[in-house]
Amino acid sequence: MLQPLTLLVLPLTLALLLGAIFGLRHLARRAPQHDELGRSGFTIEGFTYALMVLTAAYVLGVGYFFIRGTAYEGHLLEWLNIVVRLMHITFGIAWIGASFYFVFLENALNRTHNIRDELAGNLWAVHGGGFYYLEKYKIAPKEIPRGLHWFKYEAYFTWLTGVSLLVVVYYFNASGMLIDPQILPLSTTAAVSLSVGSFAVGWVLYDQLCKTALVQRPLWFAAVGLLILTGFAYFYCHVFSARAAYLHFGAMLGTLMVGNVFFVIIPGQKAMVNAALAGRPVDPAYGKRSLARSLHNNYFTLPVLFVMVSNHFPSTFGHAHPWAVLIGITIGTAGVKHWLNLREKHQESGWVLPLSAALLLAVAFVTAPSAAPTAAAGAITRPVRVQEVYGIVQTRCVQCHSSVPTDDVFKTAPNGVKYDSPADVVRLKDKILQRVVVTKTMPQNNKTQMTEEERALIAAWIGQGGKGE
């Protein structure tokens, strides 16, 4: 039973948050001018957005506090997963779209034909039935416009929703999703601490690398950066479950990207704007550093996109050496982005795309299933009936995959997959083959200790036709 003080504090805190939001909105409407954005990069509107996110998190947290341990807990967590995931995808599309667009602009600028002295280039474009004309200044215009737009909230909210999703899916369900005792037996506290700490370490290493002389030598910079990324991939795959390792690799890259925006790009833009407003010479180094970090973010985009969907492809994280597969895909997808960037610059790029495609095809070849499962199943010569397979499923799988899960983590069947009858096993035999026999990624982290003999029996049944009689 809740204490009276708690019952008073909870609604009072919510009222204060809502009051702060409405108060800031009122101040924003009464402000004599709206060019605060040009001066500092921070606006009343920005603080309002932050408070709105904080309020939503507070409401959800309080809601979870009231219903935890009840039949509604699993339902709330599932919907929380849906909402946060949708927000993450939406903001991510906006951020990556902006990254693609502005790198395209930089690459496609006309820098030679009829360019005014103060311009670095211009571009004519047509889209959506209209013509657009864009100009890039070498440093800054003589007068900073009042309606100056800053591209930052896309990055911030993508990262915030991504971290929220990490908390909902992996931190709340650490024992089932994050920790694999067969890889490394960790407590929930230790696993979450390693997760959060790795993001901080990743940013420090990357930021320091960007401050070395290697940044002037792109090839060597890329080689050292790749070595560091390989180390993180190896670390994650030897600490967390393979699926969680992939997501952490993507979260680490996303942290580097948002760190570039928050610590380098936006501060550099603020310094340039403030210098222009004060009539001081604008240091072009700010623009160069910001452009370099933006380009790094651009190369990170495709690897991050793969990681976002990697949980749908167990043949990648289910490989015996998932870290190597991850790095291979990272290099291949970054190579594709490099090819696109070179094409936009009208530079020679003929070898880049074939090489990247060849690497990705090589990864696909390496991750192809071996003959080992077939060989193990071949040792079973007697007919295998579906009831035997269903008995294994009842022992190892239905804790999660049933209409009424009994697992301590999953309160609803993951992905809606249920094995409530032998007919369900027959209907889903292809999925069972891929996840249980080939990649061995199910049961999740082998929580129920399925044996190799049981996997071979399932493989034999499927090899005999997977019939239901």
pLDDT tier for residue 242 given thresholds of 50, 70 and 90:
very high
Q: Is residue 39 a part of any domain in this protein?
A: no
The domain in which residue 264 lies consists of 69-366
Judgement on whether residues 306 and 408 belong to the same structural domain of the protein: no
Q: Is residue 106 a part of any domain in this protein?
A: yes
Q: Is residue 18 a part of any domain in this protein?
A: no
Judgement on whether residues 183 and 241 belong to the same structural domain of the protein: yes
Judgement on whether residues 276 and 359 belong to the same structural domain of the protein: yes
pTM score, two decimals?
A: 0.85
Q: Is residue 36 a part of any domain in this protein?
A: no
**End residue of a domain, out of 337, 366, 395:** 366
Higher model confidence: residue 282 or residue 78? 282
Judgement on whether residues 143 and 221 belong to the same structural domain of the protein: yes
Q: Is residue 135 a part of any domain in this protein?
A: yes
Q: Is residue 320 a part of any domain in this protein?
A: yes
Number of structural domains the chain divides into: 2
Average pLDDT over residues 279-297: 92
pLDDT digits (tens, 9 = 90+) for 387-424: 999 999 999 998 999 988 888 777 778 878 999 998 99
**Shortest CA distance to 158 belongs to which of 253, 234, 38?**
253
Judgement on whether residues 320 and 403 belong to the same structural domain of the protein: no
Q: Is residue 24 a part of any domain in this protein?
A: no
Task: Output the 3-class SS for the chain.
Answer: CCCHHHHHHHHHHHHHHHHHHHHHHHHHHHCCCCCHHHHHCCCHHHHHHHHHHHHHHHHHHHHHHHHCCCCCHHHHHHHHHHHHHHHHHHHHHHHHHHHHHHHHHHHHCECCCCCCCCEEEEEEEEECCEEEEEEEECCCCCCCCCCCCCCCHHHHHHHHHHHHHHHHHHHCCHHHHHCCCCCCCCCHHHHHHHHHHHHHHHHHHHHHHHCCHHHHCHHHHHHHHHHHHHHHHHHHHCCCCHHHHHHHHHHHHHHHHHHHHHHHHHHHHHHHHHHHHHCCCCCHHHHHHHHHHHHHHHHHHHHHHHHHHHHHCHHHHCCCCHHHHHHHHHHHHHHHHHHHHHHHCCCCCCCHHHHHHHHHHHHHHHCCCCCHHHHHHHCCCCCCCHHHHHHHHHHHCCCCCCCCCCCCCCCCCHHHCCCCCHHHHHHCHHHHHHHHHHCCCCCHHHCCCCCHHHHHHHHHHHHCCCCCC
Judgement on whether residues 346 and 432 belong to the same structural domain of the protein: no
Judgement on whether residues 199 and 310 belong to the same structural domain of the protein: yes
pLDDT tier for residue 38 given thresholds of 50, 70 and 90:
very low
pLDDT digits (tens, 9 = 90+) for 195-237: 999 999 999 999 999 999 999 999 999 999 999 999 999 999 9
**25, pLDDT greater than 70:** no
pLDDT digits (tens, 9 = 90+) for 289-330: 999 999 999 999 999 999 999 988 888 999 989 999 999 999
What pLDDT does 155 receive? 94
**End residue of a domain, out of 332, 366, 400:** 366
Q: Is residue 141 a part of any domain in this protein?
A: yes
**35, pLDDT greater than 50:** no
Judgement on whether residues 384 and 311 belong to the same structural domain of the protein: no
What pLDDT does 204 receive? 97
**End residue of a domain, out of 315, 341, 366:** 366
What pLDDT does 41 receive? 45
Judgement on whether residues 359 and 394 belong to the same structural domain of the protein: no
Output the average pLDDT for the chain: 87
